[in-house]
Amino acid sequence: MHTKHALPLLLLAYSLTTGAQRQFVITGTMLNDSLCYSEATVKKVYLTHEVNSQEVVIDSATVMNKQFSFKGEAPEVVTPYTITGFDNGAVQLFLEPGNIVIQPFNAQYPSHAKVEAHWPTTPSQNIKDLPMKWAKKECNALIV
């Protein structure tokens, strides 16, 4: 009877741990929260993703003190998303697990925003644990 329930419990435990590993947090700060073509300020921003050639709003965040954040579970595959709510473009990023930081930017020109990703690491995922030959080959491949 115990082995009959072991597989479902193992699958549940695995899904809970992999879900936790897929968590993302996006934080953004605006130097200036004024819109480009009006005197209004950015009040709300939207995390969007294209599905079947349609922009779909995944989440929204209220802007407080020129800052906003999103939290959730990243898709299985690194995927392009945008942050909208500006009247002159959007912030583009790739949604992936970890902390994604949008460096302080001017809301009048959101497409100029710089995005940094800080991936969660475990000792086995740390770059210093990779063989140097492999890491060098990958770096050279990226340069080409």
Residue with tokens 């050279």: 140
Per-residue pLDDT at 125 = 43
Averaged pLDDT for residues 70-92: 95
Averaged pLDDT for residues 69-94: 95
Give the domains, in start order, of the chain with CATH numbers: 23-143 (2.60.40)
Question: Exposure of 20 by Cβ count < 10 A (0-12 exposed, 13-18 middle, 19+ buried)?
Answer: exposed
What pLDDT digit, counting tens, does each position of 6-59 carry? 555 554 555 444 445 899 999 999 999 999 999 999 999 999 999 999 999 999
Residue 72 to residue 133: CA distance in whole angstroms: 36
Main-chain phi, psi angles of 20, to 5 degrees: -65, -30
Residue 15 to residue 44: CA distance in whole angstroms: 33
What pLDDT digit, counting tens, does each position of 84-135 carry? 999 999 999 999 999 999 999 999 999 999 999 887 654 434 444 444 433 3
pTM for this entry: 0.71
